Chains A and B, each alone.
Chain A
Amino acid sequence: MSHQPCAIVGIGQTKHKKRRDDVSLPGLVREAAQRALDDAEMTWTDIDAVVLGKAPDPFEGVMMPELSMADALGAAGKPLMRVHTAGSVGGSTAIVATHLIETGIHERVLTVAYEKQAEGNAQWGLAGGRSGGMGAGGIFAPWMRSYIQHSGAPEDIGWKVAVKDRQNALKNPYAHLQLKDISIEKVKESPMLWEPIHFLESCPSSDGACAMVLTNEAGAKKSPRPPAWVLATAMRSELGQFPGRDPVRPQAGVECSQMLYAAAGITNPRAQIDAAEIYVPFSWYEPMWLEGHDIAGPGEGWKMTDSGATALTGDFPVNPSGGVLSSNPIGASGMLRFAEAALQVRGAAGEHQVEGATVALGHAYGGAAQYFSMWIVGASLDAVAKHK
């Protein structure tokens, strides 16, 4: 079977907040989905199939919620899939939807991801539903310490990421955190949660959703606004614990990006990618993933942060939207990265637009840094080849 191009022609997201008491669960997903349909100038009846993703059901206390959301998702009479791959789920969900277009099975697919964390206790959920859990930060902190030790990074790198992403979020009206007075001093003086992670170096807990409308080449021609093209996707997983595993630079992450770059024809990611939305729930994950995905060499990731290369105006902007550090509805966070990458190459990112972006990376990871999903999107199908 020949592989048909897939385009993103509609993107929508909710305003992300600590608590969205104004909407029900179906209301939350519908807000994002309706915006994506409006962006694509489509209606619910135009959609052939729906792919929904979210992280664990016990976060909200609803088992397999796609069943009760079928009506709100306009899915009655249609195929509805529900993906769950831990924190990477938002990305994996989009990739599953991409395949439905690339194979020609469907012409227009709506993909949606959400989390309404204020309905439950996410910290409890992240501990596997057991009491006495360390939280995600407790799992990741030792790996960040290991990174710092091996790379020789100065301690202010984490603070710089925290400030940069929150400043970017001020340019994104959908972002949860709007910290106008964020500063290195404030980050440094915020309470220590998990050494080396201060409170302000951690993601918030958010209610929010993200949606995209995907279509084929013929559908993209009818798109009222410029489409983003899916140039490559990749997913990779490994076991979370075993002797000899490198959790700081997990092999699954290395392979995922290698597969991705090869499929997209990217040989020099730092030079050929204009904007990156990378899943950074804790500040130190910016340099760790820059190295973990071969954007920077070993021990060089923190230098990109330090030099300002990852700032909105830098040569490799990371998380122009404010990223996970500014909004974290867990199930949606991966799709938000994918969608924000697509907004960049469509030139539709508003105030946080990276000027002239034509190739962008969307990235998500989950579990014990063991699940990876990534995509490269372009302003055209030959965006990588045309890239200067």
Chain B
Amino acid sequence: MADIAIIGHAQSPSWRMADLTEPQFLLPVISEAIASANINRRDIGFTCAGSCDYLSGQTFAFVMNLEAVGAWPPITESHVEMDGAWALYEAWVRLQVGDIDTALVFGSGKSSPGNLSEVFPLQLDPYTLTPLGVDPVSMAALQARALLDAGLVTEQEMAQVAARSRRDAMHNPYAQVSGEFDPEKLLAEPYVTMPLRKHDLPPISDGACAVILATADKAREVCERPVWIRGIDHRIEAHQPGMRDLTQSSSTRLAGERAGVGNAPIDVAELCVSFSHEESVLRRALGLGDEVKINPSGGPLAGNPIMAVGLARIAEAARQVSDFGAHRAVAHASSGQALQQNLVCVLEGD
């Protein structure tokens, strides 16, 4: 595959409830990403967005987001009803065709308007699971229980992940939840859904992220420190939780292998750890040892703008390479419940 680089990115803060509409908060994020890439909006060859009608609570919600792109004169663009990380995948594929040299990718979502415990059961099998009202917290609790029972994680370790994420998030201006927390004190809190406590859950967030991709020649021309996509792959697995071993993530493992995670040492990883116990699953699936720094941004436990949060992992991993001296980084995005679908991307500096 041809070398494709990340040459710019931007994100909004994660807000508990944004005062702005989705196109309104997307506009400055897209503009900032384009400016950071040192390119002209008119020169972008392909635009791809990721968002979800059900979060906005209306059909064709993504159509409004075109306003933030500025699709006049007309542009070549597409949209996935998936996290922006998959929009980045589509754009990466599109750049491989070889006839264009830059792409704008963005993901955005407002989780605040609806009641998520009512919205997300609609994401499950409509015949067998939706009628049960299974929400993401319940699914995550099932997964956490399986991990605890298998001895693969402890509640203490889960609290430590949460405390570390919130501490690291103190240096992330976009984070929604941050600060110093004593894991022992966190463990004294009541369960929300056993065995999960509030700190094991992500916040509810509104937000957006945008990334600019370029071919090698274009990246060299406009960018001092391009971040190269060395491998990218995504996989889905069976939907029914009873069909899966919830202590593993076979789709993440496969995507990681295909993306070449194990080909050389990894310095840092930005993983879509939406629930604290998922870090253990993802570390094992990607073969990341204790020496690999996980989620220096704080990750989704510190800010969780669904549909942008996976793309934001890629942007944060790129930032680790371009600004903080990491040579090789892994970014991971997830979709569905209990890590059903996963994307893995390996990034490197020069």
Contacts and interface: CB of A to CB of B under 8 A. Distances in A.
B346 interface: no
Interface in B217-235: 233-235
B76 A237 contact: yes
B4 to A, nearest CB: 10
Given A70-B236, A70-B238, A76-B236, A63 B80 contact: no
A130 interface: yes
A239 interface: yes
Given A67-B341, A70-B340, A237-B66, A57 B97 contact: no
Interface in B323-350: 335-337, 340-341
Nearest to A129: B58
A62 to B, nearest CB: 5
B44 interface: no
Given A67-B123, A68-B125, A237 B254 contact: no
B105 to A, nearest CB: 14
Interface residues of A, number: 62
Contacts of A367: 60, 63
Interface residues of B, number: 61
Interface string B64-97: 0011000111111111111000100110011011
A62 B126 contact: yes
Given A56-B59, A63-B54, A64-B81, A237 B235 contact: no
B120 A63 contact: yes
Interface stretch (A34-42, A82-90, A265-273, A354-362): A82-90
A233 to B, nearest CB: 10
A85 B79 contact: yes
Contacts of A154: none
B235 A78 contact: yes
A79 B233 contact: yes
B53 A251 contact: no
Contacts of A370: 63, 66
A59 B80 CA distance: 17
Contacts of A61: 122, 126
Contacts of A252: 71, 74
B1 interface: yes
Contact of A71 (B1, B79, B235, B239): B239
B66 A1 contact: no
Given A63-B122, A77-B250, A103 B336 contact: no
Contact of A79 (B1, B57, B129, B235): B235
Contact of B90 (A96, A236, A250): A96
A205 to B, nearest CB: 15
B338 to A, nearest CB: 11
Contact of A67 (B67, B78, B96, B239): B239
A381 interface: no
B90 A81 contact: yes
B285 to A, nearest CB: 14
B53 A103 contact: no
B239 A92 contact: no
B119 interface: yes
B122 A62 contact: yes
B243 interface: yes
A82 B79 CA distance: 9
Interface string A37-63: 000000000000000000011111111
B72 A242 contact: yes
A315 interface: no
A298 B193 CA distance: 65
Most buried by A among B119, B126, B340: B126
B59 A239 contact: no
A283 to B, nearest CB: 24
Nearest to A75: B236
A239 B66 contact: yes
Given A63-B123, A68-B126, A1 B1 contact: yes
B124 A68 contact: yes
A99 B336 contact: no
B117 interface: no
B2 interface: yes
A58 B59 contact: yes
Contacts of B96: 1, 99, 103, 105
B54 A64 contact: yes
Given A57-B52, A237-B71, 10 more contacts: A58-B59, A63-B120, A66-B81, A67-B335, A68-B129, A70-B340, A96-B93, A103-B97, A238-B73, A256-B74
18 contacts: A1-B96, A58-B59, A64-B335, A66-B236, A67-B341, A69-B239, A70-B237, A70-B340, A75-B236, A76-B237, A96-B78, A99-B96, A103-B97, A125-B59, A235-B76, A235-B78, A237-B75, A239-B72
Interface of A: 1-3, 24-25, 56-71, 75-86, 92, 95-96, 99-100, 102-103, 105, 125-126, 128-130, 234-240, 242, 250-252, 255-256, 367-368, 370
